[in-house]
């Protein structure tokens, strides 16, 4: 008790005589006690420079300190009162690292390297390191950035999670794949399949603005729209390159629903139609089938008849066998015909291919 009283008296005397420091002799096991009613240690800066602080030494070597800086109204953990170190700015209630004037809640000012970033989050087990973004409404709503490194690059993950979706919206793997709605992307860009693209608002991927020209990719479909209306889809229209369907050797199939224009926009839309039937079982056999197109637009009529031996014969002039294998074909406004078929072709099946313009 006597020692405490002596120290308190010394503190009062030091203040009265404008002393700037108190020296405690560690060999004497000295302490500074505050009263129960006011447990504070007050430091005053009485000179021109508005600094006040506590310094820490290792033996006689100064190491670091806690300093109040009146120029910037804050307190810093640093080895020099003129150096911000880790600085708490009182007025704005912001924390700065290497800056006296933090421009955000936490402002880190430093040069970074790949191995030495400005901010490091080190997960100490096999789970994910995480950063959350939250607001008051909705309760417990959040975005989460989470990352996990694995010795196998394909198992490393960086995720963007939404609590409202209840899932990872994007996933990146250590080998360079990106998944959208897919937790285990198998391709450089792997997008979860969406609904069918029956209109401009559905599908998995939309390129462009829904209010203007855009391309929509969905399940088994690629569609072009202008707003909600159909638009054109140009493939290599500017580059003049080739378009391959099926594989890069052009051996795939191509289905054109409403006609193909060969020769540019001004060329007619060309369509084809296959008709088939059976010849009558008599000499001079005939066959008839309705074509269902505008006869004025027919450009070509090709026919073939298959006999009982599996041989295929075109119309008259084929030069194969005798006249018993000859026949002729034509179309009128309603039907297409096989006429005057030889006796060797009676009761056989025929196919007619029409080429017409739309």
Cα separation, 217 vs 197, whole angstroms: 7
Going by C-beta distance under 8 Å and a sequence separation of 6 or more, which residues neighbour residue 347?
278, 279, 280, 281, 285
In degrees and rounded to multiples of 5, residue 357 shows phi and psi of: -105, 150
How far is Cα 162 from Cα 201, in angstroms, rounded to an integer? 22
Q: Are 344 and 325 in contact (CB under 8 A)?
A: yes
Cis peptide before 138 (omega within 30 of 0): yes
Question: Which of 71, 81, 77 shows the shortest CA–CA distance to 95?
Answer: 77
Q: Which long-range contacts (CB under 8 A, 24 or more apart) does 37-45 make?
A: 43/68, 44/15, 45/70
User: Hey, how many other C-beta atoms are within 10 angstroms of the C-beta on 110?
Assistant: 12
217-263 pLDDT, tens digit each: 877 788 888 888 888 888 888 888 888 887 776 667 788 878 888 88
At residue 72 the predicted structure's pLDDT band, cuts being 50, 70 and 90, is very high
pLDDT at position 337, please? 93
Tokens representing residue 225 in the block: 């729209």
How many residues would you count in the chain?
358
Sign of CA dihedral 116, 122, 128, 134: negative
State residue 252 phi and psi, 5-degree precision: -85, 180
Nearest-angstrom CA–CA distance, 311 and 104: 86
118 with 112: CB under 8 angstroms?
Answer: yes
From CA 312, how far away is CA 320, in angstroms rounded? 10
* Number of helical (H) and strand (E) elements in the chain, helices listed first: 1, 24
Using DSSP's 3-state secondary structure scheme, residue 299 falls into strand
The residue to which tokens 């289905």 are assigned: 255
User: Tokens 């009485």 map to which residue?
Assistant: 46
pLDDT at 317 over 60: no
Provide the pLDDT for residue 321: 57
- Across 200-222, average pLDDT: 79
- Rounded CA gap, 141 and 240, in Å? 50
Confidence of residue 181 (pLDDT cuts 50, 70, 90): very high
- In this predicted structure, which of 42-51, 115-124, 153-162 has the lowest mean pLDDT? 42-51
- What is the pTM (predicted TM-score) of this model? 0.66
According to DSSP, residue 14 is labeled: H
- Is the pLDDT reported for residue 130 higher than 50? yes
Q: 88 Cβ partners below 8 Å, 6+ apart?
A: 74, 75, 76, 94, 95, 96
What residues contact 326, with CB distance under 8 A and at least 6 apart? 316, 318, 340, 341, 342
- Report pLDDT digits (tens) over 261-275: 888 778 889 999 999
Q: Is the dihedral of CA 43, 44, 47, 52 positive or negative?
A: positive
Question: Which of 108-122, 189-203, 310-324 is the least confident region?
Answer: 189-203
């Amino acid at each position: 008790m006597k020692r405490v009283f002596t120290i308190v008296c010394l503190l009062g005397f030091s203040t009265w005589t404008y002393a700037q420091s108190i020296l405690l002799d560690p060999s004497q096991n000295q302490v500074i006690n505050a009263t129960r009613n006011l447990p504070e240690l007050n430091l005053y800066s009485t000179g021109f420079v508005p600094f006040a602080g506590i310094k820490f030494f290792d033996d006689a070597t100064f190491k670091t300190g806690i300093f109040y800086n009146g120029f910037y109204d804050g307190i810093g953990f640093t080895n020099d009162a003129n150096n911000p170190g880790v600085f708490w700015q009182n007025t704005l209630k912001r924390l700065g690292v290497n800056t006296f004037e933090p421009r955000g809640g936490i402002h880190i000012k430093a040069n970074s390297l790949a191995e030495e970033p400005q901010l490091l989050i080190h997960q100490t087990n096999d789970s994910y390191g995480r950063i959350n973004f939250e607001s008051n409404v909705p309760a417990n709503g959040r975005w989460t950035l989470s990352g996990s490194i694995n010795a196998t690059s394909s198992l490393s993950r960086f995720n963007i999670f939404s609590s409202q979706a209840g899932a990872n919206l994007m996933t990146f793997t250590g080998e360079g794949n990106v998944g959208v709605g897919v937790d285990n992307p198998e391709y450089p860009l792997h997008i979860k399949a969406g609904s069918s693209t029956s209109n401009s608002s559905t599908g998995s991927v939309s390129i462009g603005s829904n209010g203007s020209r855009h391309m929509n990719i969905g399940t088994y479909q690629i569609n072009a729209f202008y707003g909600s209306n159909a638009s054109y889809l140009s493939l290599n229209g500017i580059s003049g390159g080739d378009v391959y369907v099926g594989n890069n050797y052009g051996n795939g199939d191509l289905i054109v629903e409403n006609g193909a224009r060969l020769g540019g926009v001004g060329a007619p839309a060309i369509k084809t139609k296959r008709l088939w039937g059976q010849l009558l079982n008599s000499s001079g056999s005939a066959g008839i089938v309705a074509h269902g197109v505008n006869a004025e637009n027919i450009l070509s009529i090709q026919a073939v008849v298959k006999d009982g031996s599996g041989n295929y014969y075109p119309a008259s002039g084929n030069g194969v066998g005798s006249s018993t294998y000859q026949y002729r074909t034509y179309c009128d406004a309603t039907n297409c015909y096989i006429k005057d078929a030889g006796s060797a072709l009676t009761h056989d099946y025929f196919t007619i291919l029409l080429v017409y313009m739309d």
